[in-house]
Structure 1
């Protein structure tokens, strides 16, 4: 079954000091890595929830989407969330509400550069074996995104608020969750120091 991919990229990166998703990571903007990994699943569509840096990200699309398959069906859609300051949970709820269809939804963050296409493919295979469950990343003794939610679970995602995002729901509905070991999901970029330190890991 085709799924939709929802990439959360609405924050103002206050701890980073600029649009971190456009910072160069291994030769490409940071956000481009999430897009490229998602494309390997051949999703029905890739939707990016943008807010504080909506205009900059939209203008950077040619650099963000460099896949040779980018014109072969799956399109990139920017969703402008003007109330981004309300928190990640609100951004997630807003994004999912735009997906009024019967597709499952893969939720990703734009600043997890170590999450690979292979990680997402393993997650997708786990979900395909149990399509009525939520398949999510398991790392550092917790559950989190990336995660694939079946379509009927979208109503629960609509309820996310403030800082209560997908992780909160994964914990609340743990009996509906299939954890998939994904150590790479532990790392995200919050500060310039994070960026510098993690860049050393790819040299």
Structure 2
């Protein structure tokens, strides 16, 4: 029950931001670098990063880190295609994993303690989904047991993994993670983060 990977989704176009939010500066580094360092400092192995829009600008930011970078050519079809890209690599390159955490590059207040807490809760309870709870929302970062990998692979559109969370709502363990409420979608969100 100990082998848990991490998939960081960073393929979006940042339409509401008007520029690549993955490259916004936070605490001296870009949001994408910050997310990668957080993942690498956690107990999750491997760390996989899914890129799409702006890949030529974002990839150089994280090339030096020991992470697996995947380019999702179908990023325009929505978040599910990035989950599919990540899970496909997990299933082929890391078949021994017990579970995977799906996280976003634009939740900068998430730290390695959150990822470790999700893993620890999984090891203790063996729930098939361990999800973050914040502002009356159940969302990511969230851990999914390997029994759900095929269903994660088959998701479609921009709903992400929420479809599965609804389907298995009676089997989800939620952990209160107020930091997950901060995600950077608009210039206003970024201003609030900097003032935090």
Tell me the TM-score normalised to structure 2 length.
0.91
1:61-111 CA deviation, whole Å, 9 max, x = no partner?
Answer: 257x4xxxxxxxxx3111010110000122212221121113111110000
Aligned equivalents of 1:92, 1:61: Cα separation in 2: 19
Q: How many residue pairs align between the two structures?
A: 191
- Aligned-residue CA RMSD (Å): 1.5
Whether 1:99 aligns to 2:90 is yes
Aligned equivalents of 1:176, 1:53: Cα separation in 2: 37
**Equivalent residue, structure 2, for 1:184:** 179
In the alignment, is the contact (CA less than 8 A) between 1:102 and 1:151 conserved in 2?
no
Deviates more, 1:5-14 or 1:169-178: 169-178
Aligned equivalents of 1:53, 1:42: Cα separation in 2: 29
In the alignment, is the contact (CA less than 8 A) between 2:51 and 2:71 conserved in 1?
yes
Deviates more, 1:5-14 or 1:158-167: 158-167
In the alignment, is the contact (CA less than 8 A) between 1:135 and 1:148 conserved in 2?
yes
Runs of at least 4 residues of structure 1 off by over 3 A?
none
**Equivalent residue, structure 2, for 1:53:** 54
What is the deviation of 1:132? 4.4
Consecutive unaligned residues in structure 2, runs of 5 or more: none
Tell me the TM-score normalised to structure 1 length.
0.88
In the alignment, is the contact (CA less than 8 A) between 1:6 and 1:95 conserved in 2?
yes
Consecutive unaligned residues in structure 1, runs of 5 or more: 66-74
**Equivalent residue, structure 1, for 2:45:** 44
Change (3 A) 1:171 1:32: same
1:22-47 CA deviation, whole Å, 9 max, x = no partner?
Answer: 11111111122222222232322111
Whether 1:194 aligns to 2:189 is yes
Aligned equivalents of 1:174, 1:108: Cα separation in 2: 19
